[in-house]
Structure 1
Amino acid sequence: MDNLWGIFEGDSPLLQSFGKYGYKIYDDFDLIQMHFHLIAAALFPIFIGAHSSLRRPPSATKGTKDAAEQADEDDDIAQEPTVEGLTPSDAILFPILAGVTLAGLYFIIKWLEDPAILNKILTWYFSILGVFGVGKLLADSFNVITTFVFPSVWSTQTEKYEFDSAAQKQVKVESNGPGHSSHVDKSNPLPGVLSKLPLPQAMRKTLWSLRALLRNHWIFRAHVHGIFSAKTKTTLNDVVGMMLGLAAVLVYNFNGKAWWLTNLMGFAFSYGTLQLLSPTTFWTGSIVLAGLFVYDIVMVFYTPLMVTVATSLEVPIKLVFPGPKRGSMLGLGDVVLPGIMMALALRFDLYLYYLRQNKSSAATPGQKSKAPVYVQSTGVWGERFWTSSASNAPKTIADGGRFPKIYFTASVIGYCVGMIATLVVLRVFNHAQPALLYLVPGVLVSLWGTAAVRGEINLMWGYTEDGSIDVETTDADEKKEKTTKGQAKDGAGTESSKAEAEKESASKKIKAKEKDGEHAHHVFLFSLSEPKSRKASDLETLES
């Protein structure tokens, strides 16, 4: 025991090592703090962008539309979310296009000698995009904050409460299902323990009005015949977010391009890209990243292109971090490119969650396998918080956001390891490093390694977001096959079935023509309208 204690006394090597590295950490504390800032800033848009990109996986079916949703569909201008899927050919095109663009910028900078004009042009170009990007990022952030203050539902361990905005009451739900019973319980519009506060009537009315103002939505429609059409829901948070986005971009351009505004625009671009871009499959994404892995090495180590362009252009295409010496920076490509694979991993986790539910129902004796109905997984952070203590309470919409995130967590760990490796090598060799040299192996090894350990390589390889494995397509095919078999068995009843089908088809065609006639003059349309009037019980369903 005395010998063990002796290693911490006097001139022991262990004590000297502690002192040496402790002093080094103290001496480099500002640098270490900057590196932590860099890693956190890189993970922030990936985390929020990946969760915002969640959508119905191929292993789940669409739920039936409620009265609120049917009320919104009152015209023929309908838009689906636009998601750009990558193909294997992009593995070749991405590095080539990136190299051509980078070389073009490099030669323009050398030709101009002073890149001030180029900086102004690119700054205004990215500023126009930044208004919408920052506006969307801020609006979604405000919407999340709203769910914490005014959630659509909250629960105790055994009870569930919903909000009836029209009646300005909280309703306690006794059981699940369409025939659930409920009764009015509270008039306070706040959730959880806050609902017990004895608020004055005037304050309660004000809070209910504020709740309606923040959660209710309007429908914006824009249509120019033959050019474009759009239909979307908008809220007060969307309007405020867009106004603040415009203000942030104006301050960025006319008040010195502060580093935090540069990062805000970088966050917005990354956030939007992760929602709009999908690798479609894991093997396609792996090939694309492998091509960019080689591109990054060549451009940083073997040419002056990357370093020259990155240090010469003062545009929001990078994240900057103040710190010792000249600080540090990280290109948005080092966030977005690994990020699209990490977002795919999160959607794959959601796919597996519903797939296991399907297999679980199939394993029950005497029951037919049926794909589960998709529950909205985005924007329910507040509901997840206020229902976190529920154990025996009825299910809520917050359950859609609760699923195991195994592959996403593995990719985050791999990304962090790659980023730390980048910073360590940068510190040791004191030379700019191609971050993708370390990030790509970190993310890909973590994803494919996790699949290998779990025995899900084939499942990951076969997963795609191109619609070919969508469960709804399978259901439609089965229904068609059953109809065909049923008609063959009916014999004489077949002719009457065909006659009825033809009659129904003709009726639909007539109605379609009448509908087309009604909307034949939709040449130019911009409108902002309230949703159709609906029952109070429908309002919160729409909000969720």
Structure 2
Amino acid sequence: MNDSAAMGTLLSFFRILEDGDSPALQFIGRWAYKIYEKRQTVEEYMMYIHLILAAVFPIFIAAHSSLQQPPSAAKPISDETEEEDDEINVQPMVEGLTPSDAIMFPVTAAFVLGGLYLFIKWMGNADLLNKIMTVYFSVLGVFGIAKLSKDGLDVVTTFVFPDSWSNGAETFYVNSDISRQLTAKFDKSRINVSDEIVVDKTNPLPGYLSTITFSPRITKALWSFRASFKKHWLLRCYIHGVCNAKSKLHLNDMIGFVFGVVAVTYYNTIRKAWWVTNLMAFGFSYGSMQMISPTTFTTGSMVLGGLFIYDVVMVFYTPMMATVATSLEVPIKLVFPGPKRGSMLGLGDVVLPGMMLALALRYDLYLHYLRKQRNPTLGFGDASKIVAKEPFLNPKGLWGDRFWTRNAKKADFGLADGARFPKVYFKAGLAGYVTGMIVTLYVCHAWQHAQPALLYLVPGVLIAFWGTAYFRNEVKLMWEYTEDGVWGWDNQSRGTICPNKESSDDEKEKSSSYFGSVAARAKDKVEEQEKAAKKAASDHAQHLFLFSLSEPKHEASLKKVI
């Protein structure tokens, strides 16, 4: 039976329902017939919903993955044995933007777009350009998909093997070192002061599954399987004069890399399916939003404003944007199948507003710890006070722990506590982004003409941010917020003395001498880093090339900080 015959049969069935005696069946048949008549419109609306969800997905996950310790939080309490074990202080590689980028971004983008347009016109087609760019983006795609897959697998691992879970009455902590589940008590600093092994929970699974008594062989296999996803190795690579890198390597890193290779191979050898193209685009946008920071809301607003003008000019007043976008068959856009020719969305319409939304989420985390600060008085005077801060708790990738401890008592501590904080500005910006996207799609549908998405997204996002700050009387605080420099070196991030404005010069001088200057501490930090660099150079003085993969030196302490 061909498609037309099948549709005819389905239409006849709807008419039978509509002509039946049952009011309910008549109602179903009548609406089913209307949907069938307007099926093309329904398919178009479904495509629009798909587009919005696909645009929001990488923004949401990248923003949460970009979270790090804000200056308003104290350094996390860590186990000394773990620090010795790792020997690696992982710092995120983030490129901060400056106000000059607000000018250079649209200018550079215009030159690149113009160059691509002229090259396509000169060659008569984009075949050669597609081959060159496919190779380039295929290499990047492997690492983009690997990172996206790895973080996704980490989230899945937290659902299957959480580090803590609660049944509402008690919170249980899973300890791989002794292969048992524990109940524990913590002091106000979140230090484990006592723990007790739970006798009836012998496996590492949460919830009802924890009460199942498996055979010793299966139980041991479950603990080993859990440990394989939780442990890490130390990867070192040294090439004289080229690189000296250290990194932590997890099992999910290797699985994610395999996923990346398989996806890119499929894309280049079998079929450039829309879902593979979108997967690679997700990887690019996911990594980009974590590696680029607008630094301040002012700089980010200027960058979006400049690219807003660029997008309008290139779409409405030149044929360059439409020609290049439709000619290039590389994964730098999201593609959506649908009626007619379907639809597409450039990654710039995702990444550029997305980096501002990621900044907003980090700002929400900053405000969360800022409002938890306290100012206890020191013994040498009431005017001088030190900022007492809450220790930073890692908020990334703990979706499973959040799920399993959602019913935990407030007095119980858990790893997922760091992921629970108000997200006012992020939610406002996300609402503005979705609103702008809906307006874009409405105008496209009404005018039947391509629209520059930033024309509607930029006002939606910026009005949401600054409007929220205005109504919360936080415009000044938002204006002054910055991620410039090294986090943890400034006055706020170290919890140093914050003298009262009415304090005398003598008291301020006493406070300064008591704690030392921030500049001196920053200098000490630089000297420590220089010493570490010299030590690393001396360690490899006898090597031209070194590649190693080793296990940690020490095992984690049982009484660890959570």
Tell me if both proteins adopt one fold, taking TM over 0.5 as the criterion. yes
Return the match for 2:139 from 117, 125, 128.
Answer: 128
Q: What are the residue-to-residue correspondences of 1:399-418 with 2, within 5 Å? A: 399-418=417-436
Question: SS where residue 28 of structure 1 aligns?
Answer: helix
**Partners of 1:133 and 1:151 in 2: CA distance:** 26
**Partners of 2:471 and 2:241 in 1: CA distance:** 52
Using the size of structure 2 for normalisation, the TM-score is 0.83
2:542: which partner in 1? 521
1:136-186 CA deviation, whole Å, 9 max, x = no partner?
Answer: 100110011001000111123342211221211111113444352111102
**What displacement does 1:105 show?**
0.4
* More off after superposition, 256-265 vs 351-360: 351-360
Say if 1:522 and 1:56 are closer, same or farther in 2 by CA, change over 3 A: farther
Question: SS where residue 29 of structure 1 aligns?
Answer: helix
**Partners of 1:238 and 1:263 in 2: CA distance:** 21
The reply to whether residue 226 of structure 1 matches residue 241 of structure 2 is yes
Q: What are the residue-to-residue correspondences of 1:250-289 with 2, within 5 Å? A: 250-289=265-304
2:112: which partner in 1? 101
Return the match for 1:450 from 461, 468, 491.
Answer: 468
Contact conserved, 1:158 with 1:393, CA < 8 A, in 2? no
**Partners of 1:212 and 1:327 in 2: CA distance:** 46
**What displacement does 1:442 show?**
0.5
1:183: which partner in 2? 196
**Partners of 1:235 and 1:37 in 2: CA distance:** 33
Question: SS where residue 306 of structure 1 aligns?
Answer: helix
Equivalent position amino acid for 1:65 in 2: S
1:12: which partner in 2? none
1:66-115 CA deviation, whole Å, 9 max, x = no partner?
Answer: 134322344xx765221000000000100000000000000000011121
**Partners of 1:82 and 1:512 in 2: CA distance:** 18
Equivalent position amino acid for 1:143 in 2: D
**Partners of 1:101 and 1:246 in 2: CA distance:** 29
Using the size of structure 1 for normalisation, the TM-score is 0.86
Say if 1:123 and 1:361 are closer, same or farther in 2 by CA, change over 3 A: farther
Question: SS where residue 394 of structure 2 aligns?
Answer: coil
Identity score, percent: 52
Q: What are the residue-to-residue correspondences of 1:335-346 with 2, within 5 Å? A: 335-346=350-361
Contact conserved, 1:61 with 1:471, CA < 8 A, in 2? no
**What displacement does 1:223 show?**
2.3
Return the match for 1:246 from 231, 251, 261.
Answer: 261
**What displacement does 1:476 show?**
7.8
**Partners of 2:488 and 2:514 in 1: CA distance:** 25
Question: Size of the alignment, in residue pairs?
Answer: 500
Contact conserved, 2:497 with 2:515, CA < 8 A, in 1? no
Question: SS where residue 182 of structure 1 aligns?
Answer: strand
Contact conserved, 1:58 with 1:467, CA < 8 A, in 2? no
Contact conserved, 1:252 with 1:261, CA < 8 A, in 2? yes
Contact conserved, 1:174 with 1:181, CA < 8 A, in 2? yes
**What displacement does 1:302 show?**
0.1
**Partners of 1:512 and 1:41 in 2: CA distance:** 43
1:30: which partner in 2? 43
2:74: which partner in 1? 61
Equivalent position amino acid for 1:198 in 2: T
Return the match for 2:96 from 85, 92, 111.
Answer: 85
1:14: which partner in 2? none
Contact conserved, 1:160 with 1:393, CA < 8 A, in 2? no
**Partners of 1:454 and 1:409 in 2: CA distance:** 14
Question: SS where residue 255 of structure 2 aligns?
Answer: helix
**What displacement does 1:524 show?**
2.7
Q: What are the residue-to-residue correspondences of 1:301-380 with 2, within 5 Å? A: 301-359=316-374, 369-380=387-398
Say if 1:460 and 1:522 are closer, same or farther in 2 by CA, change over 3 A: farther
Return the match for 1:117 from 128, 149, 165.
Answer: 128
**Partners of 1:323 and 1:511 in 2: CA distance:** 56
**Partners of 1:273 and 1:511 in 2: CA distance:** 29
**What displacement does 1:227 show?**
2.4
Equivalent position amino acid for 2:142 in 1: V
**Partners of 1:431 and 1:265 in 2: CA distance:** 27
Say if 1:484 and 1:175 are closer, same or farther in 2 by CA, change over 3 A: closer
Contact conserved, 1:137 with 1:268, CA < 8 A, in 2? yes
**Partners of 1:439 and 1:325 in 2: CA distance:** 25
Contact conserved, 2:150 with 2:256, CA < 8 A, in 1? yes
2:228: which partner in 1? 213
Return the match for 2:555 from 526, 534, 543.
Answer: 534
1:441: which partner in 2? 459
**Partners of 2:102 and 2:115 in 1: CA distance:** 21
**Partners of 1:278 and 1:513 in 2: CA distance:** 30
Question: SS where residue 549 of structure 2 aligns?
Answer: strand
2:442: which partner in 1? 424
Say if 1:511 and 1:162 are closer, same or farther in 2 by CA, change over 3 A: closer
The reply to whether residue 40 of structure 1 matches residue 68 of structure 2 is no
Equivalent position amino acid for 1:162 in 2: Y
* More off after superposition, 266-275 vs 166-175: 166-175
Question: SS where residue 34 of structure 1 aligns?
Answer: helix
Say if 1:155 and 1:471 are closer, same or farther in 2 by CA, change over 3 A: farther
Q: What are the residue-to-residue correspondences of 1:285-304 with 2, within 5 Å? A: 285-304=300-319
* More off after superposition, 436-445 vs 461-470: 461-470
* More off after superposition, 514-523 vs 186-195: 514-523
2:151: which partner in 1? 140
Say if 1:255 and 1:395 are closer, same or farther in 2 by CA, change over 3 A: same
**What displacement does 1:341 show?**
0.4
Return the match for 2:180 from 169, 172, 177.
Answer: 169
Show structure 2 runs of 5+ residues with no match. 1-30, 499-507, 517-529
**Partners of 1:487 and 1:134 in 2: CA distance:** 47
Contact conserved, 2:335 with 2:343, CA < 8 A, in 1? yes
Equivalent position amino acid for 1:335 in 2: V
**Partners of 1:104 and 1:56 in 2: CA distance:** 41
Say if 1:115 and 1:160 are closer, same or farther in 2 by CA, change over 3 A: same
Question: SS where residue 46 of structure 2 aligns?
Answer: helix
Question: SS where residue 339 of structure 2 aligns?
Answer: coil
Contact conserved, 2:387 with 2:497, CA < 8 A, in 1? no
Contact conserved, 1:414 with 1:442, CA < 8 A, in 2? yes
Q: What are the residue-to-residue correspondences of 1:450-489 with 2, within 5 Å? A: 450-467=468-485, 470=488, 473-474=491-492, 475=494, 478=497, 485=513
**Partners of 2:104 and 2:37 in 1: CA distance:** 45
**Partners of 2:308 and 2:120 in 1: CA distance:** 25
Equivalent position amino acid for 1:159 in 2: E
Equivalent position amino acid for 1:183 in 2: E
Say if 1:79 and 1:214 are closer, same or farther in 2 by CA, change over 3 A: closer
* More off after superposition, 316-325 vs 64-73: 64-73
**Partners of 2:256 and 2:141 in 1: CA distance:** 12
1:12-70 CA deviation, whole Å, 9 max, x = no partner?
Answer: xxxxxx99998997551100000000000000000000000000111112124313432
Say if 1:79 and 1:403 are closer, same or farther in 2 by CA, change over 3 A: closer
**Partners of 2:511 and 2:473 in 1: CA distance:** 38
**Partners of 1:27 and 1:519 in 2: CA distance:** 66
Structural RMSD (CA): 3.0
